[in-house]
Chains A and B, each alone.
Chain A
């Protein structure tokens, strides 16, 4: 599944879904074609378009009309760095990058 890149250099970012996000969406990953300088919030907006069932569960619509991760969820880049949910600055996305959407509860 792809979304059009708004402008500039476009890259394919794979959003990997875990836990309830995977169950809600019915898929384990979604490939999105986005601008290499896309902020996380815009990436999540593209994800919401591809997987509308995530809105209201793993994703939420803010008062400003932007999409963010819901309470109880976390974001991680490439399985390494966890991202602040408030991050709005553009990230340098490279081909092959992944954004992980997972629970912020690691208790077992």
Chain B
């Protein structure tokens, strides 16, 4: 009975996927009809399948059979899915013509399949990015339903998922398209208000700044709000709630990881050696994004003599003063010795500082450190923006887990994590001595944190990488973990003995 329902669900889902993929070779006459059929079929199939999974069971959270399943335990199906996703991403980023995208004429094939929806929403024909955005949002919606169904006994998971789906659907997808439709003459700039720097690494690029400056009141709103996000809203929210306010409640990358990526969360590596690699990579990305951003702002200011208040010199001076202040506060906070994480922070801040000063003396108008101004940006866009966040980040879900990008490559996660580790009220509290070292928390941590290592010692978990998804707490069989915001004092604990004994 349940098996039949599963199979019917799968059949509908596959039918939708087949209609979708047919577009690569064949153009439908009546696109709106087949487009609706395609998405309805996938939705119906999904819901039937999820109902078979969760509809008939009691409301507890179960991960039975996860490690027996070829899709979720790196078996043949996992590799096949990884290959398909990776090829799709390579096509979107570097060979969009394979998907039917044309620059000179109207697009054909898969991209053209999305034309009617694109015209409806933004008044223009579809690009490969519109197609991608639609599929991306659809995946978050559909698998968001699955996620909520699976974790329905846990209100934190329900609210968090509703939030992340809402931000993707409205702020990342609908609103930017509608704004473009209402202001067809407006120059291009990112209209996804939550996609803030440094995740949006081109926010400070000259063309983007000019786009916003010339974008009338809307553009200027986005510029001011974008700056407010970086310097005011984000630090305040991260202080109050930890980086989870962004990474698992708002962010689109997080949105996909938490919904479509949920079946693969257990594949992240928990090895200490991988944690070490993670810290080097994430700090490297952070330093890189800071230096490139400082460089492009610096050279942008050189081309804008009318901005008399902010000269190149004053800008660099400002950056240097800011970094020195951060360094000073680090030293004051850790005057009795630096914890490991803070050492990485220290090295990062000092490298940015030295690079900023060096920049001023070793760069001309058209070059930075003897490279052409936008060379850094190009490499960043290729290496981090496309190859990492897309191809590796999503394509490798079934092999490396759902948060590879967030863990190793996202500059935003790095920045918020830095603050979370050093200056935030957020922590995961360990419930005294109740841990039985079973390992469910660590296994199902998508960020690869060995949660158990802390819980079994009776220590709270305060880690820069924690995105606060709350799954460790949800899958703990003994009620040991709780995500909390509280005073900074005694947030980081390291008792000699967990609670329970009298020693």
Chain A complexes with chain B: no
Interface residues of B, Cβ cutoff 8 Å to A: none
